[in-house]
Amino acid sequence: MLSEAFLQSLRTLRLNAPRRRVGTLTGERRSVKRGRSAEFADYRNYTPGDDPRRVDWNIYARLERPYIKLFEDEEDLVTHILLDDSPSMFWQPEEGSEADRLAGKWLCAAQLAVVLGYIALASGDRVVLETGSFQRFGPKRGVASAAALIAFVERVSAADKRNLRSPNPAGRSSLNAWLRRYALDARPGLCILISDMLDEGGYAEGLNALGNSRLDFNLLHTLSPDELDPQFTGDLRLKDVETAALQDMSLDDAVIGQYRQRLAAWSGEIAANVRRRGGRYHLADTSLPLEEIVLKDLRRAEWLI
Amino acid sequence: MNLLNPLAFLFALLAVPIVLLYLLRLQRREQSVSSTLLWRQVTMDREANTLWQRLRRNLLLFLQLATLALFVFALARPYVNLPGAASGRVIVLLDASASMQATDVKPSRFEVARAQVRDAINSLGVNDQMTLIVVDGAPRALSALTSDKPQLLDALASARPSLEAADWSAAMALAVAAGAGNDDATTLVVSDGANADDLRLLGGKARFIPIGSSGDNIAISTLTLRRTLRGVSAFVRVTNHGTRDDRVLVSLRADGALIDARRLDVPAGKSAEWTASNINPNVTHVHAEIDEASHNALALDDAAYAINATTATRHALLLTRGNRFLEQALATLPGLRVTRAVTAPLGAQNYDLYVLDGMSMPLPAQANVLLIGAQSVFSTSGAFSNTGYVRTEFHPIARDVDWRNVNVLDARRVNAPGWLRPVIESQGGPLVLAGQSQDPALQRVVLLPFDLRRSDLPLHIAFPILIANSVEWLSPAQGLNVPLSVKPGEVVPVPENTRLRLPSGEEAIAGRRGFAQTNEIGVYAFEAGRAQGAFAVNFSNASESRIAPNLNLQVGSSDAASAPTAAAATSQREFWHWLAVLALIALVMEWWVYQRGVPAVRGKP
């Protein structure tokens, strides 16, 4: 699925979780955080109830006042990767071979999921990967689990492709329902949603749920070039791959232009929704090489450091 | 409106596949998309435009069907009956006589007539046929009986007005040959009617299209030159053929240089004369021209040319042992330069005339010779002395020669060839012979087979006249028998290979039968061997100068046959061209609507 050299180049990267870095220090909420580390952060005055073991006795001897020594919390990050595997993610503009089908949006999204999971595993975080069809990987930690992660994604790809043939695939809920359910019992951590956001039921409710949870959530919006700039013209009957709804359209330059305007407005709306809830948004054109998306675009957007 | 090819409507069945294709086109291609979410929003945006969308599609179908309908209609070759000049079998007699060059109607009568014939051609029906006969001095059919309009128009464009009078009887013969007089034939006479013969003999339906409005014309009817004691005088007569008095300015040019001009009052229908004298006798030609006139519609007869025939200096070689009478007679002749010698000098080949008085010399080819007395050219067989009872033939050299009192002691009997004929013959034998050798065309000989000293001829008045006549007759230019003035189109009998210079300055070579390209008015100079000369082509055609149109010319056998049927004549006018153009426009519009509506097809599956 991915080359060894590319995986090697990912080892130096870490996922950036800005919200968690500020103010999550050991000792602030005594009973919840257990983490210890040797990295000194700051001092503060002793207040009743603090663990006497944390008092810096050297300072006490010199100043005759108790101070508590603060250390940076090195609690490991739980990285949630939510991979949308709705039929629209498997969509190709033309009825091509299976290889073509895989080479499209889905392949890019699946590879992104693996790459982000691998980076998290390599930096020692715990990784949970869940698909829209409620298949879950993890939580696991350590690079050793990378192979299992890749195998899981491949298994999901195969299973979903089989399911695509049935007109109304079972065990799939709407985007909103999935995200809401996931946000309910998710452990705090970094959450990356990989999706095209194309769902009949919309996305607002799901994003709300994620934003209100303790998750630091990011949206990697994957759209294929055929969605960004459709290349088909003439009198067409458009068929929704998810709902099988039909839509008669006569496509000419003017209509395509309007479509592009609609698309820009729509993705801008999603980005604004995400940012309002404290998340980050990145639109990925799935026709770009994976290396370019990961090593260039995501680093520039400071998702990776 | 009728159709020539109604079967073409079968092509209308093509509308069925067009509609079928259109319906097929409406079967939309199915295209899967990841979601119709955004497309639905676009549709909502465009809801206002769908009416136009649908209409545009229908517009395409409508334009396609309209194109087909127009093409099919054009193929059916519809026509309407329009009133036309003539229909059926049409024989057009187009007058191309000189009077048709009059400009009383603009641009000229001939061009107006040509336009009339063009209209007649254009109004020809589909099944009508036409032949075009140009009537000039030698009428001819420019096109056979045909319904091919381009061919007729080409033939019409090639017609030219001539300088001659029209030969209407020959034209009528041609018309009859083309079918005039038949029931379905209409003869169309397009003419000014001037000088047209009575065309009543034209059988069948006939119609006269008159051309021309006025007969005002001033012509130089005469220009002659006369030698006088003090040079040459020119006589000019100007004739007013019109109905209005006029005052004209006539100029006279000698060899192109203006020598005199005069205003002449020419009353209507009358002539005015003018004699200009004291013109240099050495000019080669004189040219009279009407420079200004108020009522002058025909330009052809405004100029006249006259050749001064006596100008050329001729060189004569006189070989004699001394003959005062002969020398004196030759010396008084104008325009003759005599070289007297005892033996033939160097360059003896270049004389125009050889006078051998009892002597002989090797003669160059084509020499003109006056032989007197003993000679070595023709053999002789004895002599005769009974020289009375003289008979004089009619011959130029015997003109005004009174031989009655002439006495000749004796003369030699000449074994003359057949072409050398006796001109003055006595009882015993011929005393003067003259003739022109048949080969090589130009050798004139005058033979006096007696010694002048053994006769009293030099003492008589007949002698200088005979010598003058002989020298005139023997001069090379005269030898050609070229007239001084001819009419346009006349053939001038110059020898083969004569070089001519036309009035326009072009050069030409005469053919075997003389020179026939006399279609230009003016002076033609020529050079044939040692002979040089000129002749003039003058319009001088009083009947063609009378250009008054005869607008009531009677054509055809009866009045009833001509006028009413001609008025009722209709022609079938086709208009499929316009339908084809409309169809093309519809096609272009269809393409344009299509191009505007749907962008260039990209990424077709």
pLDDT score recorded for residue B54: 61
Q: Which residue from A199, A232, A266 is facing B38, i.e. has the nearest CB?
A: A266
Helix (H) or strand (E) holding A281: strand A280-285
Between chains, do A243 and B36 touch, taking CB under 8 Å as contact?
Answer: yes
CB contact, 8 Å: B552 with chain A? Answer: no
Arithmetic mean of pLDDT, B93-112 = 88
Kindly provide the b/e burial profile for residues B199-217, where b requires at least 16 CB atoms within 10 angstroms of the residue's own CB. Answer: beebbbbbbbbbbbebbbb
Specify the 3-state DSSP secondary structure of B380.
strand
Of B23, B30, B34, which to mutate for an interface test with A (greatest number of A Cβ within 10 Å)?
B34
pLDDT score recorded for residue B466: 92
pLDDT score recorded for residue A56: 86
**In which band, very low, low, confident or very high, does the pLDDT at B154 lie, cut at 50, 70 and 90?**
very high
CB contact, 8 Å: B54 with chain A? Answer: no
CA B467/CA B469 separation, integer angstroms: 5
pLDDT score recorded for residue B532: 74
- The interface predicted TM-score (ipTM) is 0.72
Does domain B218-311 bear CATH number 3.30.950.10? no
Between chains, do B31 and A233 touch, taking CB under 8 Å as contact?
Answer: no
CB contact, 8 Å: B31 with chain A? Answer: yes
Q: Which residue from B25, B37, B598 is facing A233, i.e. has the nearest CB?
A: B598
CA B583/CA B228 separation, integer angstroms: 82
CA-nearest residue to B32 within chain A is A239
Which positions in chain A touch B60 (Cβ < 8 Å)?
none
Which positions in chain B touch A232 (Cβ < 8 Å)?
31, 603, 605
**In which band, very low, low, confident or very high, does the pLDDT at B297 lie, cut at 50, 70 and 90?**
confident
- What is the overall mean pLDDT for chain A? 77
CA B91/CA B176 separation, integer angstroms: 9
The closest of B214, B210, B254 to B232, measured between CA atoms, is: B254
Domain ranges of chain B: 2-80+579-597, 85-213+549-568, 218-311, 314-474, 485-537
Task: Assign domain B314-474 to its CATH superfamily.
Answer: Class I glutamine amidotransferase (GATase) domain (3.40.50.880)
CA B268/CA B243 separation, integer angstroms: 5
User: Architecture of domain B85-213+549-568 in CATH?
Assistant: 3-Layer(aba) Sandwich (3.40)
CB contact, 8 Å: A241 with chain B? Answer: yes
pLDDT in tens, B503-561: 888 888 888 888 888 888 899 888 876 667 788 888 877 788 888 888 777 776 654 44
pLDDT in tens, A52-99: 888 888 888 998 888 887 765 555 568 889 888 888 888 777 655 455
CB contact, 8 Å: A93 with chain B? Answer: yes
CA B505/CA B114 separation, integer angstroms: 30
CA A301/CA A280 separation, integer angstroms: 9
Which positions in chain A touch B51 (Cβ < 8 Å)?
none
CB contact, 8 Å: A245 with chain B? Answer: yes
Helix (H) or strand (E) holding B226: strand B218-228
Which positions in chain B touch A266 (Cβ < 8 Å)?
38, 41
- What residue type is assigned to position A17 of the chain? A
pLDDT in tens, B366-393: 788 899 988 888 888 888 888 887 888 8
Kindly provide the b/e burial profile for residues A21-45, where b requires at least 16 CB atoms within 10 angstroms of the residue's own CB. Answer: eeebbbbeeeeeeeeeeeeeeeeee
Q: Which residue from B26, B34, B598 is facing A252, i.e. has the nearest CB?
A: B598
pLDDT score recorded for residue B397: 87
- Can you list the residues of chain A whose pLDDT is less than 70? 1, 17-41, 71-77, 94-103, 163-173
pLDDT in tens, B162-182: 888 888 888 888 888 887 767
What is the percentage of chain A residues whose pLDDT exceeds 90?
A: 2
Instruction: Say yes or no: do domains B218-311 and B314-474 share a fold.
Output: no
* B533 beta partners: B526
CA A212/CA A186 separation, integer angstroms: 12
pLDDT score recorded for residue A34: 39
Q: What domains sit in chain A, N to C, each tagged with a CATH number?
A: 4-11+76-300 (3.40.50), 25-71 (no CATH)
Peptide bond into A139 cis (omega under 30): yes
Between chains, do A198 and B29 touch, taking CB under 8 Å as contact?
Answer: no
* B75 beta partners: none
Q: Are B96 and B134 in contact (CB under 8 A)?
A: yes
Q: How many residues are listed for chain B in this entry? A: 605
CA B511/CA B495 separation, integer angstroms: 8
CB contact, 8 Å: B497 with chain A? Answer: no
pTM summary value: 0.47
The closest of A237, A200, A227 to A285, measured between CA atoms, is: A227
Residue appearing with tokens 């009174």 = B402
Q: Which residue from B28, B34, B37 is facing A91, i.e. has the nearest CB?
A: B34
CA B573/CA B124 separation, integer angstroms: 7
Tell me the nearest-neighbour CA distance from A269 into chain B, angstroms.
13
- What is the overall mean pLDDT for chain B? 82
**In which band, very low, low, confident or very high, does the pLDDT at B564 lie, cut at 50, 70 and 90?**
very low
